[in-house]
């Protein structure tokens, strides 16, 4: 009795396992044995800009299959297929007359018209499956941001990878009952329909992206740079444009050199950290104003260097700026003034603002590969370190972190989480809508004063070449030396400009940076003009009203070679132009613009004193 009960329990347990636990798996295996299936590939969702313009779409083609065991008259079927698809008869016949196979592929990438023509003949044993391929209407455009897919249209990089779950959909199947030889047991066909991928709509604007792409490509080529990049944000943290050069054609991805492809796929604005140099001074300025340790009545003195902790730290202008107001110090990008501002705020408060501005962690942007800023441990920061941080050294951030923080400095003090996705929709119906997330990090009055000071940089200071007559543009130049193995990498710079355009009730912030330009390297000369070009195009595109424009008189740039600094300074005062002087020599050995160039008072003259 015990033995019988024991074996009965074993049998009952096995039945329970087969029918309940493993039942679905065995049913699926059985279904696979007595059915033949043709996959119904799901259409991948499209990627659109904020205005509904297609940035990534799908092409549909069809593959023709024949099941030879179902074919009753192979020569006749071969003739029907060959005539409908314009194929060679003998080649088709050799396929449809094959034996020992359940199905054979006859032709691929067939257009819908040919498929319909063949279906009208209703030949027995003929089946079709749909094939999907990805295409990008603009080719070499927004390449790093959009990313690309593999041969099976699965996302591999960029937004194609990050939002692959939304875009890819679920494949379906066309099922036909068949015996072990593949003979149909029934004329009935069962369908498991594909679930089409969803569409995603971005915060990006195709037109503004085009302006940014044109600017970075021009800067990259003109200065023979390692790379050039541009990031444009709106005042709610939406990424309106992200452009990188060099780039590649998304319709012809260069997969033969994977290392080079990987390098080109990186979004440097998100994944790389840099010492941004003087563009970082906006953060120092905002913290000092917000803490009440600096205002427009302040004055600063620059003798060309400042001693902190027994170390002498040079200003970029080694001859010094002399006595200057707060506004003039910002316009001059005076290192000594910003060292003083950082020391006034103090280490604890400065690091509190770094945390407020999100510089100590990732921004949370919906893109892969994001890095976070690199800061010295707060308890290890000495006054000399803080002084250097004040003008953008000894601290490295991603361009996106900087652009996000500067946006908060000029939009009323609101720090937004940057985002690329605007909404997700399926069959035209809204599935998901992103909502801007923000926190107040500065007083509105602080933001207003920062805007005023940055407008002065473009109207009267080193950022003049970013100005566009009739529009409200402010910003800050940056020229940062690069380091290698802890030492200055001679002759290698990161040249940048970050600025804002007031467009009615909206604002746009643009950061353009050129990595290792050859020849000229000052941000005022290399990057600022391209941001001005972008803003001019954006203003025209958005139909921003233009204020009355006063025509500026022109003059021919004289030859400054061999002149003393005082002589060049007098010349600049005469024509109302801004002077940037590098080097520590007594006479000019290089100038730009060169002698004979036609200029206006909006010109910035760069001279090298040797």
The residue to which tokens 């369908």 are assigned: 191
267 Cβ contact list (under 8 Å, min separation 6): 144, 145, 158, 242, 244, 367, 369
Structure tokens at 182: 């593949």
Structure tokens at 14: 């096995």
Residue pair 572/579 in contact by the 8 Å Cβ criterion: yes
Structure tokens at 41: 């590939």
Instruction: Tell me how far apart the alpha carbons of residues 294 and 329 are, in angstroms, rounded to a whole number.
Output: 12
Segment holding 487, helix H or strand E: strand 487-503
Supply the Cα-derived Rg of the chain in whole angstroms. Answer: 33
Measured at the CA of 268, the angle between CA 265 and CA 273, to 5 degrees, comes to 145
Residue pair 206/53 in contact by the 8 Å Cβ criterion: yes
Four-residue CA torsion sign, 352, 358, 359, 360 = positive
Dihedral (Cα; 416, 420, 426, 430), 10-degree rounding: 20
Whether 278 sits among the annotated catalytic residues: the reply is yes
- Quick one: which of 565, 571, 558, 556 has its CA closest to 607? 565
Residue pair 133/45 in contact by the 8 Å Cβ criterion: no
Structure tokens at 284: 């120092």
- Quick one: which of 231, 357, 236 has its CA closest to 285? 357
Choose, from 227, 278, 333, 462, the residue flagged as catalytic. Answer: 278
- Quick one: which of 284, 286, 354, 279 has its CA closest to 513? 279
User: Which residues are marked as active site?
Assistant: 278
């Amino acid at each position: 009795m015990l033995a019988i009960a024991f074996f009965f329990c074993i049998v009952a347990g096995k039945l329970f396992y087969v029918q309940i636990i493993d039942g679905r798996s065995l049913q699926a295996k059985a279904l696979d044995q007595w059915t033949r299936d043709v996959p119904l590939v799901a259409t991948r969702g499209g990627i659109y800009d904020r205005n509904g313009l297609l940035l990534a779409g799908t092409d549909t083609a069809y593959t023709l299959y024949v099941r030879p065991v179902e074919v009753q008259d192979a020569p006749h079927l071969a003739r029907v297929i060959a005539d409908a698809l314009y194929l060679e008869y003998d080649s088709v016949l050799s396929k449809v007359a094959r034996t020992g196979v359940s199905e054979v592929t006859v032709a691929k990438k067939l257009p819908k018209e040919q498929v319909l023509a063949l279906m009208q003949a209703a030949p027995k044993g003929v089946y079709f499956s749909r094939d999907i391929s990805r295409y990008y209407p603009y080719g070499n455009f927004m390449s790093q941001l959009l990313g690309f897919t593999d041969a099976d249209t699965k996302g591999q990089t960029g937004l194609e990878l990050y939002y692959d779950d939304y875009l890819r959909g679920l494949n379906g199947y066309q099922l036909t009952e068949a015996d072990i030889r593949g003979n149909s047991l029934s004329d009935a066909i069962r369908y498991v329909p594909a679930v089409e991928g969803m569409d995603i709509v971005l915060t990006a604007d195709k037109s503004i992206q085009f302006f940014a792409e044109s600017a970075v490509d021009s800067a990259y080529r003109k200065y023979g740079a390692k790379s050039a990049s541009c990031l444009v944000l709106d005042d709610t943290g939406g990424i309106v444009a992200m452009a990188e050069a060099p780039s590649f054609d998304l319709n012809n991805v260069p997969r033969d050199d994977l290392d080079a492809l990987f390098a080109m796929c990186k979004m440097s604005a998100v994944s790389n950290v840099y010492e941004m140099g003087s563009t970082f001074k906006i953060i120092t300025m905002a913290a000092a104003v917000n803490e009440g340790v600096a205002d427009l009545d302040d004055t600063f003195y620059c003798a060309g260097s400042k001693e902190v902790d027994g170390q002498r730290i040079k200003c970029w202008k080694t001859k010094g700026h002399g006595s200057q107001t707060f506004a003039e110090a910002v316009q001059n990008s005076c290192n000594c003034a910003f060292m003083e501002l950082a020391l006034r705020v103090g280490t604890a408060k400065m690091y509190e603002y770094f945390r407020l501005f999100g510089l100590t962690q990732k921004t949370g942007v919906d893109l892969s590969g994001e890095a976070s800023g690199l800061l010295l441990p707060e308890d290890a920061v000495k006054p000399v370190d803080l002084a250097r941080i004040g003008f953008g050294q000894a601290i490295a951030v991603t361009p996106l972190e900087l652009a996000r923080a500067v946006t908060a400095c000029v939009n009323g003090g609101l720090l937004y989480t940057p985002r690329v996705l605007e909404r997700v929709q399926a069959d035209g119906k809204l599935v998901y809508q992103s909502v801007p997330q923000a926190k107040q990090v500065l007083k509105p009055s602080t933001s207003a004063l920062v805007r005023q000071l940055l407008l002065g940089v473009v109207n009267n200071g080193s950022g003049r070449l970013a100005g566009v007559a009739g529009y409200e543009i402010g910003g800050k130049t940056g020229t940062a030396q690069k380091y290698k193995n802890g030492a200055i990498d001679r002759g290698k710079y990161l040249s940048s400009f970050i600025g804002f355009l007031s467009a009615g009730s909206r604002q746009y912030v643009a950061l353009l940076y050129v990595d290792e330009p050859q020849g000229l390297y000052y941000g005022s000369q290399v990057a600022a003009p391209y941001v001005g070009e972008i803003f001019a195009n954006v203003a025209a595109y958005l139909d921003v009203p233009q204020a009355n424009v006063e025509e500026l008189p022109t003059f021919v740039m004289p030859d400054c070679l061999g002149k003393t600094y005082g002589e060049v300074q007098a010349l600049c005062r005469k024509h109302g132009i801004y002077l940037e002087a590098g080097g520590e020599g007594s006479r000019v050995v290089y100038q730009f613009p060169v002698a004979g160039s036609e200029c206006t008072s909006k010109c910035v003259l760069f001279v090298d004193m040797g």
